[in-house]
Structure 1
């Protein structure tokens, strides 16, 4: 059985936010909720700036599942961590426990009330019937049941964001890293990375 995982290649991510837009559009995510976001470190430093696309990592030993007082989280046969909004009480414990900031809560509503938690579903829907209107309304489109990969990964223009069977995408990433090591650090990233998008640092510039 495949174990579904995400890997983001920081050498290829160009901070276009296409993955973020694809996710919000595909699932009609409510205002104030971002199931996926792009994080950039060393912002503005030429040669040192790196970006990575972050969402729920569907952990093998998910801390959100461990702290939820009503056990609204469950794991599918493919290793995707999902939740039941009918069970969720909006306590926010999952948001404190998650190291990736995946659990999101609506920004609109009465002060002090969190509402139902929302997060990345790996485009696998929820506990309702696959493809049903109720499932789409609560969790968005169930692409996995259609034999498709998450929309964020399919829309990544540089193929920085990989999604699918953990063993398969690990092999793809390992081959990329090996290629870069053989051809120099910049070679692998320049194919679809920062070098292609923004050019190489000019001589004498801060690196």
Structure 2
């Protein structure tokens, strides 16, 4: 069974926002909610700007599921993390727990009226019958039930945003990294620790060596 995941390749993202626009149009997302956002890091710093498309990452150990007091979050057989709006009480715990800011309150209605949480569904709908009117009104279109991938990934012009089976998209991203020859620095090792993972390595070796994570577990 496929385990659905997203990966955004920051080396390819051009900040066109087509992913965010496609999501809002496809699902008629409520006003004030952005299920997918394009974030710029180091904005204005020459040579250090990076943009990344962010949404619910459908975590294997999702913190939103852990903190929800009414257990409205659930995981499908494909690994997609969804929530039941009929059960949701709008407490906002999931919003505080999520490191990606995926669960959000809609902004429509009277001031102070927050309503039910809304989040990315990986285009997998919700607990209602697949393709039903009730499902679309609450969660948007169920593209996975139609045999399609999330529209945000399909609309990405540079294929920076990849969505689908985790193993398949990891293989695609791995091949890109190996062609670039950046090694483990693509994971931000220098940003996190301020040094190369192998300070004794020569520059050519560091540029061509594949990180251990690329080969572990691949038999």
Q: TM-score range by the shorter chain?
A: 0.7 to 0.9
Q: Give the structure 1 partner of residue 41 of structure 2.
A: 41
Q: Structure 1 residue 165 and structure 2 residue 165: aligned? A: yes
Look up the SS of the partner of 1:79 in the other structure. Answer: coil
Partners of 1:132 and 1:111 in 2: CA distance: 31
Which deviations, in whole Å up to 9, do the C-alpha atoms of 1:39-67 show, x marking residues without a partner? 10111222211000000000001000011
Q: Give the structure 2 partner of residue 78 of structure 1.
A: 78
Which deviations, in whole Å up to 9, do the C-alpha atoms of 1:118-176 show, x marking residues without a partner? 00000000000000000000000000000000000000000000000000000000000
Cα RMSD after superposing both structures: 1.1
Q: Give the structure 2 partner of residue 113 of structure 1.
A: 113
Partners of 1:94 and 1:111 in 2: CA distance: 21
Contact 1:83 1:126 in 2 (8 A): yes
Q: Give the structure 1 partner of residue 23 of structure 2.
A: 23
Gapped regions of structure 1 (runs ≥ 5): 186-207
Q: Residue 28 of structure 1: CA displacement?
A: 0.5
Partners of 2:36 and 2:82 in 1: CA distance: 15
Aligned length: 183
Q: Structure 1 residue 148 and structure 2 residue 140: aligned? A: no
Gapped regions of structure 2 (runs ≥ 5): 186-219
Contact 1:92 1:114 in 2 (8 A): no
Q: Residue 109 of structure 1: CA displacement?
A: 2.1
Partners of 2:153 and 2:142 in 1: CA distance: 15
TM-score (norm: length of structure 2): 0.82
Which deviations, in whole Å up to 9, do the C-alpha atoms of 1:163-207 show, x marking residues without a partner? 00000000000000000007xx9xxxxxxxxxxxxxxxxxxxxxx
Partners of 1:100 and 1:69 in 2: CA distance: 20
Contact 1:36 1:120 in 2 (8 A): yes
Look up the SS of the partner of 2:181 in the other structure. Answer: helix
